[in-house]
Structure 1
Amino acid sequence: MLQLIRDKSQGLIVGIIVFLISLTFALFGIQSYFTGQGDVTVAEVDSHKITLTDLIDRIKIIRQQTEDNLQTQTDPDLWSSDFIKLQTLNLMIDEIVLDQVIADAGIKISDDSLVKKLKDVDAFYDEDGFSRERYESLLARTGTTTKEFEASVASDVLRSHIKLGILGSEFSTDSENSFLFQLRNQKRDISLALIKIFPKSEDIILTKQELEEFYQQNRESYKTKEKLALEYLKLSRESIKGSLPKIEEVILRNIYTSNIGSYTTPETRSIEYLLIKENPTLEDKARSEIIGKIFSLLSDGKNLYEISQTIDGKIEIELDSVENLNRGDLPGPLDDAVFALTEAGVVSKPIDTEFGTHVVKLNVINPAKTLSFDDVKSQIMEDEFDRRTEQVYVESAELMAELAFENPDSLDLVSSTLGLQRQETGLITKERFIVDFGASSVPKVFNDDVLDNKYNSEPVETAGDILFLFRVKKYEKAITPELKDVRDKVEKDLTDAKLKDETMKFVDSIITELRESGGQSETFQKEKLSWKLNKSIDRYSEKIPLNVRNKAFAVELQNNNPHYLKIEYDESTIAIIRVHNQQAPAVAEAGGDALDKTRDFIIRPRSAVMWKDYLTTLRRDKKIKIYSSNLSP
């Protein structure tokens, strides 16, 4: 039983903790500071309620996981979209439904299974090994207790076991595996003959009607791009932090004194114990005799291990030790008894719990330890700089929004009040704007008030944790020019199209000859074309372009006879493709890994559908309500 308590500090699944620690208000932008949000209910599963705060916290975790995996910042507006909110809410509903089903079925995770999961991650270790101080500090900063965190991990493990059980029931037949393995690993000889698109000649004559029709069919391609020139202000935490004055040591010492508990490691105790496990067949008298024998042997100087060897093998016992116990780690009566012992070496009186009767020996008392000011000074300074930076940033952001709204025709007052330097861009396209300022800035700038009326934009926080305020100096709308204004380009494009069309017709004639004459073509020979043979090409080979590979493997080879087709190789070249000599690998010679990958390729989509159907079935037995109108803060 106490194995869990002993090993809990050997490593925890800390993804959630790390995510929560590092989050800022960037998810929904600075606007949430101005408007506030109520803790309203967004969904109910039977009597269980999901609040808007629960939903937003979960989206923050998913966003952080996504950005960590992609190693890049993402668009904040994406994460505040109704689509993401609804997808995440349904995920949370599914988890609650699963938790209820698991609880109703009486399924529990064993101590050993939970311990194994907790020991998988070493994020609470420092150079000296596991750091209890680091572990407790991180938990404390998230407002999460050890019990809450481990309960969360246990729920995740149980849900994953249920999911693995469902997904593991899907299968594919040997014939399916063999067929798909041969199909995916098939090889073909692919030969290419390249023909340059015909050069411009005097034979190409363009009529007025052809030009007009071509222009009308492609007029969108001649549309100009909208452009704008901006002036803007930029507010960042980095610049604020760099401008803050030095923090005096007396202030740091006051912070240290006021938060001394945060720098104190609580008293811990190490014990060993002998447990006579609960057993309905063991009568009270017999249990009392065993306990009496234990204490008699203790008085004779025997240790708990020696005593355990004298107990009848039919009696179920547990002998173990636990190090670095905190107050509250053990069940109530046991916890009280352990922390009531006054010195190392003392043995407790018999302690009855739901697990049986315990005899506990106190081995070590590790007194509470308070880190010195010098030990934590640099961390206090960093934390205080971060706190002050965040305070200034939020206050400045609020003031920026207020001043920009009250003075919509100029950035001057915002610039002078906040001490921000006004910057400008030249005339840039919308695409360039997105590259420079992020996609989240687009709706804040590309609207009538900002573009046409030249009002200040709303402040917008980008993925890089930078707050921008924009004002448009010049805006050029996208327009579709008249034919007369782009006549030269239209003539060139139409000429190129005609030349390509003539080349395609020429290629078609060669392919017809090749098909009808068993691979022979007079035109092919006359034009001095030649085949470039690429032998044994599979679907993943990089020897030839992807579009050629896809085209070559899309055709069926009747009786393994050559097949001829064409493709636009690049902007100036048409390729004739000859596909022949299809080779299928022998399944018997395939390695186990290759067949496993093929099986996974078949099973994965089937399993996804099965899991979705299973959750849908579970939901039918639940009263689920989603309050869509409450999804926006």
Structure 2
Amino acid sequence: MLQQIRDRTSGLIAGFIVALIAIPFAFFGIESLAPGGGDPVVAEVGDQKIHESQFRRQYDQRYQQLVQLMGENFRADMFDQERMRAAVLRDMTQETMLRQYTEDRGYRADDATLFNVISAESAFQRDGEFDGQAYRDALQRAGFTVERYESQLRDNIEMNQMREAVVDTAFSTPVERTLAAKLQAQERTLQYAVFEVARYRDRVSVTDEQVEARYEQTKARYMAPERLRLAYVELALDKLPDVEPPSEDVLKVLYEGEKAGRFTTPEERSARHILVGFGADKDAAKQKIEDLAKQLADGADFAELAREHSEDPGSSQAGGDLGWVRRGQMVKGFEDALFALDEGQTSAPVETEFGWHLIRLDELKPATVRAFDEEGVQQSLKELFADRERQQRFQEMSERLEQLAFENPGALEPVAQALELQVQTTDWFERGKGSGIAAEPKVVEAAFSREVIEDGENSQPLSLGGNRIVVVRKAEHEPPRQKALDEVAGQVRAELVDEAARKLIEQEAQEVLNAVRGGTDFQEIVSAKNGELRNPGKIRRDNEEVEAAVVAAAFRLPHPQDGTPSTGEAQLDNGGRAVLLLSAVDTPEDARLNEVQQRRLRDLAAGAQFGAYMEEIETRVGVEIRERPDDAETPPIDG
């Protein structure tokens, strides 16, 4: 079914394919990598191994996606690298585990399902219709072959079939919904006092001796990391000068080469069919389809027979209507029969892998070819010519760049002069904290390599994606060094002050709790202890005006008993503390969940069920983490 797509595709579009394969299935192709024997195994999933080099590649890919997503707002210190390593390895093991499990359990995605997913993707369409050229172009730009992409997408569909089989059966009972509604609508009457670090700093004194002692104890925390500035030349496809407009003769040659794929709308046929599956008795199925064919020959209505007898759940209720069909969308036997019919004609019984069919051709749209002289065709040809010329020039300059960088390892100026490029420099940056090209993992890895830092040589040409290539070399370099006490004394002092302030807060918060539990008025003791009293009154779980930590702590407190409020504490994000006084709990008896809340409850149940199912799959397949990636060779982000 997909052979026509393969035969009719070639060209260009953009690298968006990652969006088609949703996490956690973003790491297809793991089994296609074949690392050598010196590559340590970081995890073993069933009968497959995940090697350190594979992990490094996937980590690098995820990092680059994050950089591209955040653009100028990206900062390498914004996320926890240890958590990112764990997430990447988890996704890789889960994808491998699920693929093995779904294959073993017999989940399959046929060609028709695969084609429906591919043809519905807008990036593979032109003018709202699937276009084979756009399909091939997009895959080529993203570094996929058609065969590899379809294989991976098929895996994804099969794994989603398994997931949906679990989550679509999730439900909540009336008792659960009633309890959830009551808890959601519950209100708690709250007072609380906040003790901020800022209010206690002036009550703390730190001596120079204490600062010096802390500095000596924790010197390792106050290292100035290695940093450098890079010189570089960049070759970018989108910065190449415009090409000379082509002559009409050149455009005509290009048109003839592209006409069949780019400027031809293929023949389409509007068809209906009746399907009778083989079932347990193939001969009986054939007899039934022949009886239906006789009824049609005697004047029966095709649509009514399809509604009554067709076993195709996707079209039977529509009278067997399949919509508009092009070559390559149906299995061969069905397609051959359909494209041999005249308008209004019904086929004899046709056998396919799905059963017996009767096919009727309702309407035919012949193939159309856009003329060379059309304005849109001319513009498309000019853009295609310009793009190919730039691609050709970029390829030639890339090869020349590699040669020049190799022949002049100690300087970039000869490279820049020969290719009419500029030598540019980055700002100072630390490992993993650069911006611009210094945020690119490949650049960071090369920049901190022995060849660049110690030997002072040019890097190899580095492909950054998006048709960009750079060569970098060291401009200035500072090795790691111990910061002197006078550089960090203010920081050390502030840390000591805050540490002492938090201890005071902890003591006073406990004194407030003890006093209130002993019968002292809450407001009176809070005022005496330099706290800030807040009285939000009744709050619910979704309250956004009270600190989240306070709300969470309030709904963990036991119900007040015999008129005695419940008390407790909450640690605030800013280092302060809150002392809570809960005086009442009101739970409505007639609460009901709205539709959104019911869906959320169902989603929670589905998530819990699928999580438990994943644990069972992991037990059956077997997942062993052999070596933590952060203990193995460090991924590119950390050099």
Identify the TM-score tier after normalising by the shorter chain.
Answer: 0.5 to 0.7
Quote the residue 2:381 is aligned against.
380
Does 2:446 correspond to 1:447?
no
Quote the residue 2:14 is aligned against.
22
CA displacement 1:524-565 (0-9 Å, x = unmatched): 455686622112234443313344445555655663624154
CA displacement 1:345-376 (0-9 Å, x = unmatched): 7787x565468988877666544432212342
CA displacement 1:434-468 (0-9 Å, x = unmatched): 46632413222123332344332344344666433
Contact 1:411–1:456 (CA under 8 A) maintained in structure 2:
yes
Matches within 5 A, 1:306-345: 325-326=325-326, 336=336, 339=339
Q: Relative to structure 1, is the Cα distance of residues 336 and 581 closer, same or farther in structure 2, using a 3 angstrom cutoff?
A: same
SS at match of 2:381: helix
Q: CA deviation at 1:589?
A: 1.0
The alignment yields a C-alpha RMSD, in angstroms, of 6.0
Quote the residue 1:390 is aligned against.
391
Equivalent-residue separation in structure 2 for 1:614 and 1:492 (angstroms): 51
Quote the residue 1:213 is aligned against.
213
Equivalent-residue separation in structure 2 for 1:474 and 1:596 (angstroms): 58
Quote the residue 2:592 is aligned against.
590
Equivalent-residue separation in structure 2 for 1:253 and 1:49 (angstroms): 53
Matches within 5 A, 1:291-370: 305=301, 325-326=325-326, 336=336, 339=339, 350=348, 353=351, 366-370=365-369
Equivalent-residue separation in structure 1 for 2:270 and 2:520 (angstroms): 88
TM-score w.r.t. length of structure 1 = 0.66
Structure 1 unpaired stretches of 5+: 28-37, 43-47, 298-302, 621-631
Contact 2:75–2:435 (CA under 8 A) maintained in structure 1:
no
Equivalent-residue separation in structure 2 for 1:521 and 1:284 (angstroms): 88
Letter in 1 for 2:603: D
Equivalent-residue separation in structure 2 for 1:64 and 1:495 (angstroms): 37
Does 2:239 correspond to 1:235?
no
Matches within 5 A, 1:566-581: 567=571, 570=574, 574=576, 576-581=578-583
Contact 2:337–2:350 (CA under 8 A) maintained in structure 1:
no
Q: CA deviation at 1:267?
A: 4.1
Contact 2:181–2:593 (CA under 8 A) maintained in structure 1:
no
Matches within 5 A, 1:109-258: 131=129, 134-139=130-135, 141=137, 160-168=160-168, 187-188=187-188, 189-194=190-195, 196-198=198-200, 200=202, 204=205, 206=207, 208=209, 210-240=210-240, 242-258=241-257
Does 2:480 correspond to 1:478?
yes
SS at match of 1:531: strand
CA displacement 1:241-291 (0-9 Å, x = unmatched): x44333333322211123332233344555678999989787999999997
Q: Relative to structure 1, is the Cα distance of residues 383 and 446 closer, same or farther in structure 2, using a 3 angstrom cutoff?
A: same
Q: Relative to structure 1, is the Cα distance of residues 352 and 484 closer, same or farther in structure 2, using a 3 angstrom cutoff?
A: closer
SS at match of 2:434: helix
Letter in 2 for 1:476: E
Residue range with higher mean Cα deviation, 159-168 or 272-281? 272-281
Identical-residue share of aligned pairs (%): 18
SS at match of 2:229: strand
Quote the residue 1:516 is aligned against.
518
Bigger Rg, which one: 1
Equivalent-residue separation in structure 1 for 2:419 and 2:498 (angstroms): 57
Q: CA deviation at 1:503?
A: 5.8
Contact 1:454–1:471 (CA under 8 A) maintained in structure 2:
yes
SS at match of 2:481: coil
Equivalent-residue separation in structure 1 for 2:104 and 2:523 (angstroms): 73
Contact 1:415–1:421 (CA under 8 A) maintained in structure 2:
yes
Contact 1:186–1:582 (CA under 8 A) maintained in structure 2:
no
Structure 2 unpaired stretches of 5+: 20-30, 36-46, 623-634
Quote the residue 2:603 is aligned against.
600
Does 2:420 correspond to 1:419?
yes
Equivalent-residue separation in structure 2 for 1:400 and 1:170 (angstroms): 58
Q: Relative to structure 1, is the Cα distance of residues 120 and 138 closer, same or farther in structure 2, using a 3 angstrom cutoff?
A: closer
Contact 1:511–1:576 (CA under 8 A) maintained in structure 2:
no
SS at match of 2:239: helix
Contact 2:228–2:478 (CA under 8 A) maintained in structure 1:
yes
SS at match of 2:470: strand
Contact 1:515–1:564 (CA under 8 A) maintained in structure 2:
no
Letter in 1 for 2:591: E
Q: CA deviation at 1:24?
A: 8.9
Q: CA deviation at 1:239?
A: 0.4
Equivalent-residue separation in structure 2 for 1:64 and 1:426 (angstroms): 21
CA displacement 1:58-78 (0-9 Å, x = unmatched): 989x97997899686999999
Q: Relative to structure 1, is the Cα distance of residues 377 and 63 closer, same or farther in structure 2, using a 3 angstrom cutoff?
A: farther
Letter in 1 for 2:592: A
SS at match of 1:535: strand
SS at match of 1:472: strand
Quote the residue 2:438 is aligned against.
437
SS at match of 1:589: coil
Q: Relative to structure 1, is the Cα distance of residues 145 and 292 closer, same or farther in structure 2, using a 3 angstrom cutoff?
A: farther
Contact 2:123–2:134 (CA under 8 A) maintained in structure 1:
no
SS at match of 2:537: strand
Equivalent-residue separation in structure 2 for 1:531 and 1:177 (angstroms): 37
Equivalent-residue separation in structure 2 for 1:25 and 1:455 (angstroms): 36
Contact 1:26–1:465 (CA under 8 A) maintained in structure 2:
no
Equivalent-residue separation in structure 2 for 1:253 and 1:504 (angstroms): 82
Letter in 2 for 1:472: K
Equivalent-residue separation in structure 2 for 1:211 and 1:315 (angstroms): 85
Equivalent-residue separation in structure 1 for 2:331 and 2:250 (angstroms): 42
Q: Relative to structure 1, is the Cα distance of residues 608 and 322 closer, same or farther in structure 2, using a 3 angstrom cutoff?
A: closer
Matches within 5 A, 1:252-271: 252-262=251-261, 263-269=263-269
Q: Relative to structure 1, is the Cα distance of residues 595 and 258 closer, same or farther in structure 2, using a 3 angstrom cutoff?
A: closer
Letter in 2 for 1:478: P
Q: Relative to structure 1, is the Cα distance of residues 474 and 320 closer, same or farther in structure 2, using a 3 angstrom cutoff?
A: closer
CA displacement 1:300-353 (0-9 Å, x = unmatched): xxx6749999xxx99999986767554566666665566556x767787x5654
Q: Relative to structure 1, is the Cα distance of residues 67 and 83 closer, same or farther in structure 2, using a 3 angstrom cutoff?
A: closer
Contact 1:181–1:598 (CA under 8 A) maintained in structure 2:
no
